[in-house]
Each structure stands twice: as C-alpha cells, then as structure tokens.
Structure 1
C-alpha cells in the first residue's frame, strides 16, 4: 500500500439494499481495531495479501449488496470484521442444506471475514460503536435516513466524535427525493430502473435478470465510493458525507446505451439500443447445440461474410458501417442464425477462432465447476472450511504485478462476543 494512506484504516460498514429493523453495531473481532491515526502503514512482505493489506473494515451488512462489496474489499487484502445481530445475516439461511446457518450464498459473500455478534439497540453496544467511531475512517450504512438519525448515526454526530470520519450511506432511493423513505430490494430496483422493461424486449412482458444484478452492481459502486472517499480524505484531511442510492445508480447504469435518441433535446429517435433489443440476439443453434458469436467490427463482418461464402455482402451498403449494421441488425442476426444450423458447434468455433471473430461455447455453471475440478485455471479456489469441509469458491480475477492477492480465508461461523 502506498505510504500516503492512513495507517490501519478501519471502515465500519452498515449497508445493503434493504434495512430490516435496526442494524447491529460493531465493537470487536479477532484482533483489536483501535490504532493510532494518520501514521504510516508499514510495508508488507512482497506478495503478502494484496493492495489493501493493512486496511481494516468492520462490516455490518446483510443480504447481497453490502456483503458483496465487503467481500471484494476482503479479497483485495482488507481485514474485514463482520458484525451480525444474534440471529445472524439472513443470507446464512439461503441454500443451507444442513441447517447450520452456513448456506452457499453466505459462504461466497463472506469469505475473508471474521464475525462477532452485537446489537445496536443495546445502549452498551451503542457506546462501543461510538468508541469504535473515534478511530474509524469510514462508517457506511443502509439504514433509511430517519431511522439512522434516530439511532444517532448521522454525519454531524459522528464528526463530533471523529472530525475526519467519512459517512457513506447506501440507500434504496436518493435521500432528497420523493421515494426516500421507501424500502428497496433487487427486484424492485430492476423494475424501477428500467432493467426489467429492457429484458422484456419486443414482447412487452417485463422480466428480471436471473441474478441479483442491482445488488451486485451497486455493491461495486459502493466499493468505488469508499475508496474514492478514502483517497480524497488522505489528500485533504477532511471527512465528508457520501450517499450511493440504488435506484439512481442503476438507472444511470442502464441509460448509458439505452437512452438512445432521447439523449438529444429534443429527441432524435426512440430510446433503446437496437443491437441488444433485437429479438434475434441470442446464442445461436447449431446442428448439435448452441454457441455465442459477436460479429462487431467492419473487419469481423467482412471476414464472416467470406467465411459463409457471401462475398457479395462485403460491400453491401446496408452492412458496410456500424451505423448501417445497427439499423439492419435483425437481418444480420437472422442470417447468422440460418447459417449456423448447417454445422456443428465445434466446427463453427474452429472456423470463427481462425478468423479471430469473438465466439464462445455456451457453458452451464455445472460445466464451469466440472472443468475447474479437472483442469484448474484459477477461476475457483479450494478452501478448507472448519465446519463445512472442502469448498470450491470464486477467486478474485484481478491480477496485481507487485501486491499479489492471497486466497481469502473461509467465511466465518456465527459466534457471540467473548
């Protein structure tokens, strides 16, 4: 870690896509959290634990979004203490076949973290929280604004305890908007941000992406916000309040390409992105399965037309430029679909790879895990868990040349404060 960073950063995290009751409080973990502020982080051994080695995070998140953000930070080398209410994070019960509160989702979202049980409703625990805030760099929460203020979790109060503290609030909706007081979860944000409508396409029937994509996407934005605020505070020495609202974040995310002609005022066309909206955009059927191909650039299309013996289309005005192809994308996708029915998946993959056109087989999750078992590529890590046995879990695919990442420790069992 660069020496300009504050020593032993401690991030107290209290956020996710929805607040149930009152969030618990943080007070401790396997190692003490309180350290001298603004001293230098000692150099860590080469290849030790990643670029965030020395950063300390106290994590009060639950569900998907917050734990995903802090899992990323843990895999980057931060020391993360997960603080849970007595019943534990709700995600402990998802896909939990043995009833030990160590479900599959929890195991993947909470690697590299230690765990303690505390409850912010307790005056004693709240005092511990205030003590921790005095030596904390960042406090992050997902408690709706009025509830947070009733609990005493406000920037004005926290800065009196610690003038350089950063308070990051992850809300369902912007706190100054008309929906500020409403709860939010992934499905409702997919709907309100336009994502479900986009997925419905020309059928007009809205559909959810079969992944909590809003939770995970906003979780990544939360990591960006936290790291940016830490860097700015290191430059200025001042704390600040930061807000990351789910709806506004996902709407902005979707508008990048989906705003279409509405980006102009007055509009110059409809919303949407023709290529992704095409009903013919899908993995293409072959004689023995399906494959994916994305013929995109001028060179790709010229080589593809020659590959299917349609040289006459190379100079066709409908397909010569990306603008023209976008207007005629349905015709192009229909052409690919009809051609692919004539050969096997492997035959097409070999031909497309030889032409350097992006393509891939359609893999299932079962295929991916089986492949990693037989021919490990580093996508999954083998983890020995003290109660759950041997696990295969996703590794962080980011590579650093000097501050290499070490495998994250297994997810913690639920335990009370000693």
Structure 2
C-alpha cells in the first residue's frame, strides 16, 4: 500500500510515474513527493547513474541520489521486454503524471511516447525533460549541466566578473530545469482540473537557462534597435564580490538611496559626494562604487560591520560554507532540516523550503534501494503473478 496515502501535502492523491534520471527530472519529482504525491520511480536494471556519483552509506545509495529521490517508491522494469512494458502500461492507467528524461527517439522506440501513453490514459499530464526542445535543430543532441551552462552564457558572464571563464559552483541548469519542469507540470494539472483534459508538456534545459539568464542580462539587447549589449552591468562588475574586512569578509549590498544615505551618514567616507548620491548615478559608476566601498570596509572587523549594517537595516551577511548551513540558527529555527531513519542510520535532509498553512509538505521518506518496491507496486496492480520484471538487488 502506498505509504504516502495519508500525506497532508497539497499533492495528496496525485500519482506520478517517474522515468527520469540524474538531477533535473528527479529534483522535480522529489518536490512532488515531499508535497504528498505518490511518486513511483521506474529504473532500468542498472539503476539511475546518480546512485553511483558521490559518497553514500552503501553502494548505489549516494548522497546526491538519496536527496533527489527521497520519498519515492522504487521499481525496476526492463522496458525492452514485454513483461516490463506491460507493467509500465498498467501503472500508466493509474497515473496522473508521466515524466521522463529520455531522448525523444528512445522513448518513442520503447513505445511510451506521448501518443502511446495518452492512448492508455487520455487525461494524463505527460512531461518531457530534454536538453534541447524538439522543434529546434539540436533536438537530439546530448546535454549535461556543464554544457548547458556554457551554451546559455554563464561562463562568459563569469569571465566578465572574474577574468576567467568558469562554471558556477552548483549544477544550476539541472536544478533550474527541474523547478521549471515542476511548475510546468503543475500548470498542466491545474488546467486538467478546470478543463478535464490532459496534455503533453516539454521542458528543455537550454531554453530554460537561456530564459533564466536573460531575465536581467537581456537588458539593452531587447530593443529594436539595440540600446546596448545583452548584459546587466552591476552583476559583472569586477569589484562585485564579498568585501574584505580587517579580519575576514562580509557580503553587503548598499544599493538603494535609503541604504546608501544611512551608510554614508554613519561612516562618513571621504569619497562620498554628489557623484554617487543617487541610485541612477551610482549605477553609471557601479564598479568604482564597489571599489570605494571595498577600501572602506577593510577598516573594521566583520563583526563590527555586521553589527552596524544590522542597526541600519542594510542587507548584509557573513560568508558561509555549505557545511555551515547544517548548523545555521535560522534554518534550524524554521525547521528546514528533517531527519529520516533509514536502514543505514539517520539521514538529515534539507527539507521543504516553503510553508503552507493547511497542506504542509514534509520530507516524504528515505530514497528507495534499487527495485525495493517492485513487487509491492505490481501487487497493487494485481499484476504480481503475471509480470516478471528484473528486480534489482539491494
């Protein structure tokens, strides 16, 4: 029986058939699971590659895999066999959402393209997670986070900022793509609630990240004729970085006129004057402004600056490492982290970052071992005796 049946989240009663792998799709469906959906993760006999890419308490149970697949039920089906395909077709009959991250030609060849799935369940929301959209010339090109970061302009922007082309230190394309797949799927479900019809949804990392990057960087290039290059100058100013203090670093953005005037009146830096008195003027000289502030902030300790910025209500922060987040007073006070007991011991997950007054979400449970729920899920379908897919050990 579905262990999520009594979940209080807003997606209670929604069943998701999840054929995604790596991070983009699994991150999308992990959030659905935390919000109460019954997410059935369908893997090949070899398992999702993410099982093996980082440290974990057992083979095939890496930290990355566990975090983006928590709370799901794990089923192994060999879709190249008739038994495996028949089991998936039976699952599709019961589902609200079908989501995959295979290439278009591959999923169609297996017999689970949109037309095939909609013929089984016309009301289903069918979400494709791709590297590139099918309507463009790159439709079947392979993609990973690094290549999409490069293609959407992130390393080029980093080069303007630091002098060297670099990826950002997080798998941004995968995660932004996953969040986009989530909201797109939810919009399709909302339409189904109103109109009673399912539909096909397509989310690609490249289009998603191009749109994401151009939110601010489109800037002058949006106009006809262009009023400037596609870049937002403030974010690529070389002096835009955490400021060095007399004993460490502090992050602060003294941005609007209220904050600027409060800072200038409290600190009285000798370089302050009419040239930088308004936001419009500071924006024209933004890198110079950052450099001048940097000189001034070297004069006091991090603690002294944080205390002053706190008094002035200017946004500022100390520099944390990812390890620091687990002991962060605010994050622990709001209950971000949830500890789940697993067969390998407790796992402290970074949990649901939003809050609902009536339908709160929670970490849905541990991630499944490979094929752990195959028999139980097929038994629910009344298929356990007639379908013999390959079941993973573990």
TM over 0.5: yes
Residue 373 to residue 336, structure 1, CA distance change in 2 (3 Å):
closer
Q: How does 1:4-403 map to 2 (within 5 A)?
A: 30-31=1-2, 49-96=8-55, 98-202=57-161, 205-310=164-269, 313=272, 316=274, 318-371=275-328, 377-386=334-343, 388-403=344-359
Contact 1:93 1:99 in 2 (8 A): no
SS for the counterpart of 1:313 is coil
Partner of 2:387: none
Structure 1, 113-122 or 371-380: larger mean CA deviation: 371-380
5+ residue gaps, structure 1, are 1-29, 34-41
Give a deviation string over 1:99-140, Cα, whole Å, max 9, x none: 422111112111111212112111111122222223322222
Alpha-carbon distance change, 390 to 161 in structure 1, aligned in 2, over 3 angstroms: closer
Going from structure 1 to structure 2, the CA distance change for 1:32 and 1:367 (only over 3 Å counts) comes to: closer
Could you list the runs of 5+ residues in structure 2 that have no partner in the other structure? Answer: 376-394
Provide the rounded CA distance (Å) in 2 between the counterparts of 1:198 and 1:73.
33
Deviation of residue 263 (structure 1)? 1.0
CA 1:251–1:303: 2 relative to 1, 3 Å: same
The number of equivalent residue pairs is 374
- Give the CA deviation at 1:312: 7.7
TM-score (norm 1): 0.84
Deviation at 1:311, TM superposition (A): 8.3
Residues 372, 379 of structure 1: 8 Å contact kept: no
Normalised to the residue count of structure 2, the TM-score between the two structures is 0.89
Q: Which has the higher helix share?
A: 2
Structure with the greater relative contact order (CA < 8 A, sep ≥ 6): 1 or 2? 2
Change in CA separation of 1:348 and 1:149 when aligned onto 2, cut-off 3 Å: same
Residues 101 and 156 of structure 1: CA distance in aligned 2, closer, same or farther (over 3 Å): closer
Inter-partner Cα distance in structure 1 for 2:182 and 2:331: 34
User: Does the residue aligned with 1:178 lie in a helix, a strand or coil?
Assistant: coil
